[in-house]
């Protein structure tokens, strides 16, 4: 738990340093003006993926000790849509909302309060939604399994995709914008 707390605080620190405690900066992603979210999150994903691959390869982490969450396709798609709408409307995801709160931003307080209400409401109606929540179980799904590729190939592929996304994002951010008259 201490390790998780330290890693979470470090991640929050870097999110704040990247400016992701500001909903205006986060909204720039949706307007194709500022891709800091894409860059920070892809960097976190690739760093964790490469780090975990190396740690398991050298025997520092036992793969059987890793827990892969189960996939439930329909409820996770619906949850992703709810998450996306909340992100667009509120301007924050849960992590960046916590960063905004820690930075003293009142909009972060409002978004986190809304999330808390949503979590409470979901808990209240969960029994009536249990069948939907457990619909379309696929088990533990991983990219190497889905793609039929070895882990090292998936690590290389995702890292390459991240690099390509960074280049595309930089190109989009540098392009001239139209002038509104």
Tell how many helices (H) and how many strands (E) occur in the chain.
8, 2
Q: What is the pLDDT of residue 11?
A: 86
Tokens linked to 127: 């029994």
Give the number of other Cβ atoms within 10 Å of residue 23's Cβ.
19
Tell me the per-residue pLDDT of 44-102, one tens digit each, with 9 for 90 and over. Answer: 899 999 999 999 999 999 988 999 999 999 999 999 999 999 888 888 988 899 999 98
Q: In angstroms, rounded to a whole number, what is the distance separating the alpha carbons of residues 162 and 175? A: 20
Name the residue ranges covered by the structural domains of the chain. Answer: 1-66+147-176, 68-141
- Residue 30 sits at φ, ψ, to 5 deg, of -75, -25
Q: What is the pLDDT of residue 178?
A: 62
Tell me the per-residue pLDDT of 153-181, one tens digit each, with 9 for 90 and over. Answer: 999 999 999 999 999 999 999 988 765 54
Q: What is the pLDDT of residue 181?
A: 45
The 8-class DSSP code of residue 63 comes to G
pTM (two decimals)? 0.79
Tokens linked to 87: 């992100």
Q: What is the pLDDT of residue 51?
A: 95
- The upper half-sphere exposure of residue 175, i.e. CA atoms within 13 Å in the direction of its Cβ, equals 10
Tell me the per-residue pLDDT of 98-139, one tens digit each, with 9 for 90 and over. Answer: 999 988 899 999 999 999 999 999 999 999 999 999 999 999
Tokens linked to 175: 């392009």
């Amino acid at each position: 738990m201490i390790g998780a707390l330290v890693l979470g605080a470090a991640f929050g620190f870097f999110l704040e340093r990247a400016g992701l405690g500001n909903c205006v900066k986060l909204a720039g992603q949706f307007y194709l003006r500022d891709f800091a979210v894409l860059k920070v999150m892809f960097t976190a994903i690739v760093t964790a993926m490469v780090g975990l691959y190396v740690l398991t390869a050298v025997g520092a982490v036992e793969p059987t000790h890793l827990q892969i969450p189960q996939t439930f396709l329909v409820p996770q798609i619906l949850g992703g849509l709810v998450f996306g709408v909340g992100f667009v409307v509120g301007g924050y995801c849960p992590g960046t909302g916590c960063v905004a709160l820690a930075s003293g931003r009142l909009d972060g307080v409002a978004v986190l309060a809304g999330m808390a209400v949503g979590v409470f409401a979901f808990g209240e109606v969960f029994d009536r939604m249990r069948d939907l929540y457990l619909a379309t179980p696929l088990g533990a799904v991983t990219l190497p399994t889905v793609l039929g590729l070895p882990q090292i190939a998936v690590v290389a592929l995702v890292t390459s995709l991240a690099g390509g996304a960074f280049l595309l994002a930089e190109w989009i951010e540098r392009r001239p914008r139209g002038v509104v008259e």
